[in-house]
């Protein structure tokens, strides 16, 4: 009885925290201009995508370079549902989750026997190959892609309520819910089991854990999250095209996850923020230095790569871990 | 019938270039147990060096020589300054699994940005040393030119040279020992760290040749070797990361398979075809085609 | 107990803040976006890098060179023009992101010369160009779908559409190559399909038809195009694609000793760039191509001569080719449009100026401009040109015979239009 009340209190505190965060985001969304609101929606999207990586790589230890492909699956599922079945928006998002979960389950079962570089290679091939399929089948829209139009905000919000603000609201809501749900899953038995598998697969098996089933489950959930992120991306851009899901996206996601702490869920917001802010900063620097076009094309990549290398070498488990180590050292004194 | 022959020939040529890249990847894997995604970046940098020499001297083979040297130096440099630091710092926690992969990815991006900022993104060309006109058999012209022959010959020579190196020389023995049983190798007096660096240097040189041969028939941009990286890696995995012969076999299988898809199915399915080939092979043999079933040492 | 009170307070504060923010009003907009007393900001998205960039990546700098020239000579009613270029690598999704930046961050007054069919289609819908009232002048694409003024009320084309080009080419094919086996290679999106549809409507039947996906052009895929064309015995091959794809096709065909009569679409046929991409001059010799402008080497043409001078001075080190010519021409048209809108510059005013005075603007192309209150279509005609052994482009038959048509079912007619003279020193004085 006592433990149930404790769990209920913890969950209630969490809900309160998330609702509070929601209010803060609403207020922020009202105060800033349209560009920032649009970027906010992109940050929310990356946050969801990074959550999928934290679950898959940070917790269950499977290195996948193909999250971009799963995002593509979700985005196309959402667009096809919306355009061909004329369903409400939330149903399109739901389809994105379900379809990419299904793909994830398939991929996971095939990949369960693989590890390390073999898994990385397979997911790499997927990341490169999957978006290109859109060019083969015309119902997928080819290179120009499919339009994904979630429409305009309800009139009662007034004229000043731009479409990008609407996207920001929807994206943030989804992101908050996704993080909330994932955080609960990660703190539950599932999360502990995944960490056991990541640590030592053999020992986990001996302890009675069905390792491959749990791995497939991790893939399924991670892909569902990635698919959801893909649908949010589709909403933000208004377009689902192969060009949005390049190898660079998958690499960028892994980068963001490492920068923010690959097994740290709170870090995903920081990671999303970094992924959106870096091109901004690079843009500013490039403009300051003149000769914009060459610098602009390669400077963001340079900054991201340098950051990535530095963080992998010095804070491989994210800045949070180093901070904790530092605090622990201080406490010991 | 002609289409079949054409497909085989084109597949063989593309496969040979992938073979060089996958050889380089397997070399690094066997000596360091790291998959070096930056391999394409090193090859790209070396190829740009080759481009500079080629455009100044007009001699292809001189350019290749410089490229090989550049590639070897970059490879050794990456191992010495980068990988050692990495292994010193990132050896615990959940990220230890991921760290080398991410780090080499970051390095790839770094090299690419550097190349882009230095040379720009315009399409550059390197003159092929031999004609690119197809051989004429009777009234038909095959999509197989003296350049393709050159590629296949070069790859074969490199493969034989590496095989001799690994099987018949002391250096080769040291390289194999340092990879499989570093502690025992050290006890036997082998300087494992230095040997590893040499392995990276050789891989860098091989990658440089891949880059130069690929560019002789194509354009050079900071992104032109990406395809080589992806397919070289897939080829290495298909062949089993443990064997160099496997790397070459895997690359040829991949090259022919992809060309079949390109010619008979459709251009857009080429990449997913690569994925299909890969997953098919791994489902049947999780360690790759040439694996001896000894179990993975991931 | 205390925790509950604290939580209650947090809720209350949050509620107050939230409701207060709902009354936050937006800043009133007074000055026109992108225009100050000393500056006009314009934006362009184009492929500066990537598979489609060769050739097209020179357009922005050419436009800029012309604008700098005008700025040095008083600007437009005293305002200097600033052109902001953004690289979208020919990817529609990047075009959307970069156009968002141009409109929301850089706050440009108008878009000029955005490049790419799929790119602008995506941008127009996603960014809401019409809804925001952003003028987009002189689109660098020939997609006939943009000619719809209802759907694209603030946009204006400049190039003849691919449909027009196909119709004119179709007439030429029927007159000169009747009975020969025809082949077609085209980019498999709205760009190529636009042309394909017009060919069909004009009754041209292709014996071999090879679509390819944008971005996949390269020597390996070009091999498959050539095998198909050769296997089908095509004697005349029409090509609608970007320059880098033309280069791949011609290069591979030369190596395979396959030499049909080439008919190259105007978009991807600049001989200088093709040669820079490795196509031997011998292959270009005799290739037919449609063109709307004089050859960039024709210094007897007053426009070309003036633009070359400006290029030498303001865009040093850059070879003068079709793309530089095109870029400078767009610059010339832009300045005329800005002038026609008057010194009290507004977006609505610019659009009105294009509608009422646009058709009288001076432009290097040989065909008339069709801007009006009901039409946002620019040039409407092409002439057939042929490349010679030096890689230069000369009119087929000696002198340029320009045909005009529309994107629909209208006839192809010989044009008697006379171009307006180039403004003195290349500096417009219109109002």
Do C58 and C319 form a contact (C-beta atoms < 8 A)? Answer: no
% of chain C at pLDDT higher than 90: 60
Mean pLDDT value across chain C: 88
Arithmetic mean of pLDDT, B23-51 = 87
For the stretch A59-100, pLDDT in tens is 887 888 888 999 999 999 999 999 888 888 889 999 999 999
CB contact under 8 A, C126 and A238: yes
> Which pLDDT score is estimated for C129?
92
- Is position B239 within any domain? no
- Is position A264 within any domain? yes
DSSP A56: I
Residue carrying the six token digits 């499989």: B180
Instruction: Tally the C-alpha atoms within 13 A of residue C114's C-alpha that lie toward its C-beta.
Output: 32
Task: Please state the domain count of chain A.
Answer: 1
Q: From start to end of C30-132, where are the E strands? A: 39-46, 80-87, 110-112
Q: How far apart are CA A75 and CA A92, in angstroms?
A: 9
- Is position A204 within any domain? yes
User: Does the structure show a pLDDT above 50 at C18?
Assistant: no
User: Does the structure show a pLDDT above 60 at B227?
Assistant: yes
Contacts of C396 (CB under 8 A, 6+ apart): C288, C383, C384, C385, C386
Domain with B27, as residue range(s), is 2-10+23-225
The pLDDT confidence band at residue C24, using thresholds 50, 70 and 90, is very low
Which residue segments constitute the domains of chain C, with CATH numbers given? 39-160+296-380 (3.40.50.2300)
CB contact under 8 A, C213 and B267: yes
CA-based nearest residue to B35, from B241, B278, B293, B297: B241
Residue in chain A nearest C28 by alpha carbon: A160
How do strand C288-291 and strand C261-264 relate by DSSP bridges?
parallel
Residue carrying the six token digits 């397979």: A122
A311 or C384: which carries more pLDDT confidence?
C384
**SS3 for A170-195, per residue?**
HHHHHHHHHHHHHHHHHCCHHHHHHH
CB contact under 8 A, C87 and A296: yes
User: Does the structure show a pLDDT above 70 at B159?
Assistant: yes
Q: How far apart are CA B132 and CA B57, in angstroms?
A: 20
- Is position B238 within any domain? no
Give the closest-approach CA distance of C284 to chain A in angstroms: 30
Least confident of B67-71, C14-18, C75-79: C14-18
Compare CB distances from C278 to B125, B221, B268 and report the shortest one's residue.
B125
How do strand B136-137 and strand C381-387 relate by DSSP bridges?
unpaired
CA triplet A92, A98, A101: central angle to 5 degrees?
140
- Is position B260 within any domain? no
- Is position B151 within any domain? yes
The pLDDT confidence band at residue A318, using thresholds 50, 70 and 90, is low
- Is position B94 within any domain? yes
> Which pLDDT score is estimated for C14?
47
Task: Please state the domain count of chain B.
Answer: 1
Residue carrying the six token digits 């009170």: C5
The pLDDT confidence band at residue A164, using thresholds 50, 70 and 90, is confident
Q: How far apart are CA C195 and CA C186, in angstroms?
A: 9
For the stretch A95-127, pLDDT in tens is 999 999 999 999 888 887 777 777 887 888 888
Do A263 and B96 form a contact (C-beta atoms < 8 A)? Answer: no
CB contact under 8 A, C49 and B121: yes
The pLDDT confidence band at residue A208, using thresholds 50, 70 and 90, is confident
Phi, psi of C143 (to 5 degrees): -65, 125
> Which pLDDT score is estimated for C114?
95
Q: How far apart are CA B257 and CA C281, in angstroms?
A: 35
B33 or C354: which carries more pLDDT confidence?
C354
The pLDDT confidence band at residue A175, using thresholds 50, 70 and 90, is very high
Q: How far apart are CA A142 and CA A134, in angstroms?
A: 5
Q: What is the pTM of this model?
A: 0.84
Do A224 and A49 form a contact (C-beta atoms < 8 A)? Answer: no
CB environment A146-167: b (16+ within 10 A), e (fewer): bbbbbeebeeeeeeebbbbbbb
The pLDDT confidence band at residue A290, using thresholds 50, 70 and 90, is low
Arithmetic mean of pLDDT, A33-48 = 89
User: Does the structure show a pLDDT above 80 at C392?
Assistant: yes
- Is position B145 within any domain? yes
User: Does the structure show a pLDDT above 70 at C30?
Assistant: no
> Which pLDDT score is estimated for C21?
42
> Which pLDDT score is estimated for C118?
86
> Which pLDDT score is estimated for B104?
85
Q: How far apart are CA B52 and CA B67, in angstroms?
A: 10
> Which pLDDT score is estimated for C10?
47
**Of the ranges A86-90, A95-99, B77-81, B243-247, the best mean pLDDT one:** A95-99
CB contact under 8 A, B268 and C256: no
Q: What is the CA radius of gyration of chain C?
A: 24
Calculated CA dihedral for residues A27, A32, A37, A38, nearest 10 degrees: 180
% of chain C at pLDDT higher than 70: 93
* Other residues' Cβ atoms within 10 Å of the Cβ of residue B2: 12
User: Does the structure show a pLDDT above 50 at A255?
Assistant: yes
- Residue C379 forms beta bridges with which residues? C369
The H-or-E segment that residue C386 falls in is strand C381-387
CA-based nearest residue to B233, from A113, A117, A249, A107: A117
The H-or-E segment that residue C211 falls in is strand C208-212
The H-or-E segment that residue A43 falls in is helix A34-53
Q: What ipTM does this complex have?
A: 0.81
Greatest CA separation found in chain B? 65
Give the closest-approach CA distance of C125 to chain A in angstroms: 8
Three-class SS state of A257: helix
Q: Write the CATH number for A155.
A: 1.10.3470
The pLDDT confidence band at residue C22, using thresholds 50, 70 and 90, is very low
> Which pLDDT score is estimated for C27?
40
User: Does the structure show a pLDDT above 80 at A224?
Assistant: yes
CA-based nearest residue to B244, from B161, B150, B169: B161
CA triplet B84, B85, B88: central angle to 5 degrees?
85
- Is position B160 within any domain? yes
CB contact under 8 A, C125 and A237: no
Mean pLDDT value across chain A: 82
CA-based nearest residue to C34, from C152, C127, C135, C156: C135
The encoded tokens of residue B53 equal 């020499």
Q: Is the Cβ of A23 closer than 8 Å to some Cβ of chain B?
A: no
B217 or C137: which carries more pLDDT confidence?
C137
Arithmetic mean of pLDDT, A177-204 = 83
Give the closest-approach CA distance of C44 to chain A in angstroms: 12
Residues 114-153 of A with CB under 8 A from B: 114-118, 120-122, 124-126, 128-130, 132-136
Arithmetic mean of pLDDT, C109-118 = 93
Q: From start to end of chain A, where are the E strands? A: 146-147, 239-240
User: Does the structure show a pLDDT above 70 at A320?
Assistant: no
The pLDDT confidence band at residue B73, using thresholds 50, 70 and 90, is very high
The pLDDT confidence band at residue C223, using thresholds 50, 70 and 90, is confident
Three-class SS state of C193: helix
């Amino acid at each position: 009885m006592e433990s149930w009340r404790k769990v209920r209190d913890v969950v209630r505190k969490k809900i309160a925290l998330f609702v509070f965060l929601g209010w803060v985001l609403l207020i922020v969304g009202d105060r800033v201009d349209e560009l920032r609101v649009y970027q906010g929606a992109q940050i929310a999207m990356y946050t969801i995508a990074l959550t999928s990586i934290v679950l898959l790589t940070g917790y269950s230890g499977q290195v996948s370079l193909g999250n971009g492909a799963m995002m593509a699956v979700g985005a196309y599922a959402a667009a096809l549902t919306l355009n061909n079945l004329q369903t409400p928006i939330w149903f399109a998002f739901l389809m994105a989750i379900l379809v990419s979960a299904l793909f994830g389950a398939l991929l996971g079962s095939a990949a369960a026997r693989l590890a390390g570089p073999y898994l990385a290679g397979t997911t790499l091939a997927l990341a490169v190959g999957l978006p290109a399929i859109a060019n083969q089948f015309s119902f997928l829209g080819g290179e120009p892609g499919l339009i994904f139009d979630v429409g305009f905000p309800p009139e009662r919000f007034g004229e000043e309520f731009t479409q990008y603000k609407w996207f920001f609201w929807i994206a943030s809501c989804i992101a908050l819910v996704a993080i909330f749900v994932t955080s609960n899953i990660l703190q539950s038995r599932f999360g502990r089991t995944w960490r056991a598998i990541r640590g030592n697969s053999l020992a986990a098996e001996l302890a009675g854990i069905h390792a491959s089933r749990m791995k497939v489950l991790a893939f399924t959930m991670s892909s569902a999250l990635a698919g959801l992120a893909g649908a949010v991306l589709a909403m933000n851009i208004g377009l689902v095209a192969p060009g949005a899901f390049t190898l660079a996206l998958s690499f960028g996601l892994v980068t963001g996850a490492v920068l923010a702490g690959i097994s740290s869920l709170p870090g995903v917001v920081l990671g999303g923020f970094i992924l959106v802010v870096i091109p901004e900063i690079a843009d500013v620097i490039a403009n300051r230095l003149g000769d914009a076009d060459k610098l602009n094309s390669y400077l963001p990549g340079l900054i991201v790569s340098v950051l990535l290398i530095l963080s992998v070498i010095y804070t491989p488990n994210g800045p949070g871990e180093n901070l904790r180590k530092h605090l622990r050292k201080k406490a010991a004194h | 019938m002609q289409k079949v022959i054409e497909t085989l020939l084109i597949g063989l040529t593309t496969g040979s270039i992938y073979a060089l890249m996958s050889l380089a990847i397997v070399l690094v894997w066997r000596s360091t147990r790291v998959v070096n995604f930056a391999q394409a970046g090193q090859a790209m940098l070396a190829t740009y060096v080759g481009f500079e020499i080629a455009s100044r001297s007009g001699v292809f083979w001189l350019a290749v020589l410089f490229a090989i040297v550049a590639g070897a130096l970059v490879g050794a440099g990456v191992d010495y300054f980068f990988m050692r630091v990495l292994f010193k710092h990132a050896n615990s926690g959940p990220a230890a699994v991921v760290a080398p992969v991410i780090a080499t990815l970051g390095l790839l991006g770094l090299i690419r940005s550097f190349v882009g900022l230095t040379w720009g993104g315009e399409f550059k060309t390197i003159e092929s040393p031999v004609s690119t006109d197809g051989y004429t058999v009777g009234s038909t012209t095959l999509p197989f030119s003296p350049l393709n022959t050159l590629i296949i010959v070069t790859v074969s020579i490199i493969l034989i040279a590496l095989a001799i190196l690994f099987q018949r020389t002391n250096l080769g023995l040291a390289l194999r020992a340092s990879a499989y049983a570093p502690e025992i190798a050290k006890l036997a007096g082998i300087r494992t760290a230095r040997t590893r660096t040499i392995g990276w240097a050789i891989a860098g040189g091989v990658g440089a040749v891949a880059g130069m041969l690929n560019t002789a028939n194509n354009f050079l941009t900071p992104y032109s070797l990406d395809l080589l990286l992806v397919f070289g890696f897939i080829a290495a995995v298909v062949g089993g990361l443990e064997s160099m012969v496997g790397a070459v076999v895997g690359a040829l299988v991949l090259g022919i398979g992809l060309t079949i898809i390109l010619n008979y199915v459709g251009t857009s399915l080429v990449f997913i075809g690569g994925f299909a080939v890969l997953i098919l092979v791994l489902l049947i043999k999780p360690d790759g085609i040439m694996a001896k079933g000894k179990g993975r040492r991931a | 107990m205390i925790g509950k009170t604290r939580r209650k307070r947090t809720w209350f504060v949050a509620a107050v803040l939230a409701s207060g923010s709902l009354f936050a009003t937006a800043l009133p907009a007074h000055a026109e976006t992108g225009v100050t007393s000393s500056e006009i900001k314009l934006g362009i998205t184009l492929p500066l890098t990537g598979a489609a960039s060769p050739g097209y990546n020179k357009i922005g700098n050419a436009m800029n060179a012309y604008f700098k020239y005008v700025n040095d000579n008083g600007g437009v009613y005293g305002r200097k023009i600033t052109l902001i270029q953004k690289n979208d690598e020919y990817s529609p999704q990047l075009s959307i992101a970069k156009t968002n930046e141009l409109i929301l961050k850089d706050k440009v007054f108008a878009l000029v010369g955005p490049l790419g069919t799929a790119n602008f289609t995506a941008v127009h819908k996603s960014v809401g160009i019409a809804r925001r009232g952003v003028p987009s002048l002189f689109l660098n694409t020939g997609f006939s779908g943009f000619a719809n003024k209802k759907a694209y009320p603030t946009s204006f084309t400049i190039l003849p559409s691919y449909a027009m080009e196909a119709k004119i080419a179709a007439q030429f094919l029927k007159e000169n190559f009747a009975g020969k086996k025809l082949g077609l290679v085209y980019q498999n999106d709205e760009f190529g399909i636009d042309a394909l549809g017009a060919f069909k409507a004009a009754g041209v039947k292709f014996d071999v038809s090879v679509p390819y996906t944008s971005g996949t052009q390269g020597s390996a895929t070009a091999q498959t195009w050539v095998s198909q064309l050769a296997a089908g015995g095509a004697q005349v091959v029409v090509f609608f694609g970007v320059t880098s794809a033309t280069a791949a096709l011609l290069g591979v065909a030369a190596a395979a000793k396959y030499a049909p009569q080439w008919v190259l679409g105007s978009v991807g046929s600049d001989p200088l760039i093709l040669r820079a991409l490795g196509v031997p001059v011998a292959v270009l010799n005799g290739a037919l191509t449609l063109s709307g402008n004089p050859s960039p080497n024709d210094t007897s043409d007053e426009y070309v001569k003036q633009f070359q001078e400006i290029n030498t001075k303001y865009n040093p080190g850059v070879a003068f080719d079709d793309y530089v010519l095109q870029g400078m021409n767009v610059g010339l048209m832009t300045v005329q449009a800005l002038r026609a809108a008057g010194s009290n510059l507004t977006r609505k005013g610019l659009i009105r100026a294009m509608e009422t005075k646009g058709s009288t603007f001076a432009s290097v192309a040989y065909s008339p401009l069709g801007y009006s209150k009901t039409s946002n279509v620019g040039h409407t005609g092409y002439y057939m040109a042929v490349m010679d052994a030096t890689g230069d482009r000369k009119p087929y038959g000696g002198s340029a015979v320009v045909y005009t048509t529309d994107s629909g079912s209208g006839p192809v007619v010989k044009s008697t239009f006379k171009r307006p003279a180039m403004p003195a020193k290349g500096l417009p004085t219109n109002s």
